[in-house]
Amino acid sequence: MAATLSTSPTPTASANWQSIAVRHWPLLGGFLVLLLPTLYGLGREVWSMEIGAHGPIVLATGLWLVSQRLGDMRAKAAASSPLIVALLLLLSLPLYIFGRAYDFISLEAAGVYGTMIALVLVLVGWRALRDNVFPFLYLGFLVPPPGWLIDQATAPLRHFVSAAAMGVLEPFGYPIQREGVTLFIGSYQLLVEDACAGMNSIVGLTAITLFYIYLMHSASWRYSLLLVALIVPVAVFVNVIRVTALILLTYYAGDAVAQGFLHATTGMVLFALALGAMFGLDWLLGRTIGHRPGYRA
């Protein structure tokens, strides 16, 4: 598959962007007023937790992707419909205001994201955004999913992971029992929470895997869909390993050890393992079906 190179900004294109920034400085300044407090809130409330640990990575790599597409966006820049921009702002700004006022970081971040899309439409227009849409969709992973959505999505995963972990340990003679998502081993009782049920891994793993697919396999959408379909099974499998490890840590070392530093450590190690598994599956599938990556640089 032939390599696909992105258009990097030339000195002339950079000068054009500078002139655009000067011309639209009130819009850019207003957007920064919204963005910076929200980034601080994300860093304090979300990125310090497992569900948002991928946030800084997505922000850095997403901005890099946007920088690689600046030349192409400038070349395709055209006027956009004021009506579409106005509708986006009418939806996004109330979300931001409500989320900011009542400390709903998901709504606040969604409002900033919608405002960003409106700003991009003002600067370069619909065609340039459409032809370079992936970096902006990818930045959407910075918007944390609301808690109720996480609870609904992880409910079946919690049951599956707890049952699978018990199925792994029971044949080895461990005194383990299960009631719903509660596991009993020895004198200890463990609740399989969202952090161990796969959702946190799925969100971050999806973001990083999509970034990898965009760079390596964007020329083949069928193969890309195959890799995307493997994300959930890999994340669930890795979380079964994680819950099993935490059960064993609790059984042999006590609840304080398992739920302390080692709880977070197993999460980081197994997230890295999930990424490694995705890359390994990509390599194995490539050798099996003869697929060659189409690079974006």
pLDDT digits (tens, 9 = 90+) for 164-198: 999 999 999 899 999 888 888 888 888 776 555 55
Over the chain (297 residues), the average pLDDT of each successive run of 10 is 46 59 77 94 86 88 93 88 93 96 94 96 92 94 84 81 91 89 85 62 84 79 85 87 86 74 67 86 82 56
- Residue 185, SS3 per DSSP: strand
Residue 142 has a pLDDT of 93
Question: Six-digit token pair at 186?
Answer: 């020895």
pLDDT at 3: 40
Return the closest-CA partner of residue 117 out of 91, 155, 94: 91
Q: Where are the domains of the chain?
A: 11-142, 147-289
Quote the tokens at residue 51: 């569900």
* CA 218 to chain CA mean position, Å: 18
pLDDT at position 262 is 61
Catalytic residues: 196, 242
Task: State the Cα–Cα distance between residues 100 and 287, nearest whole angstrom.
Answer: 50
Cβ neighbors of 120 (< 8 A, separation 6 or more) are 129, 136
pLDDT of 222 reads 81
Q: Which residues contact 154 (CB under 8 A, 6 or more apart)?
A: 194, 197, 198, 199
What strand order describes the sheet that includes 182-185? 176-179, 182-185, 188-191
pLDDT at 148: 77
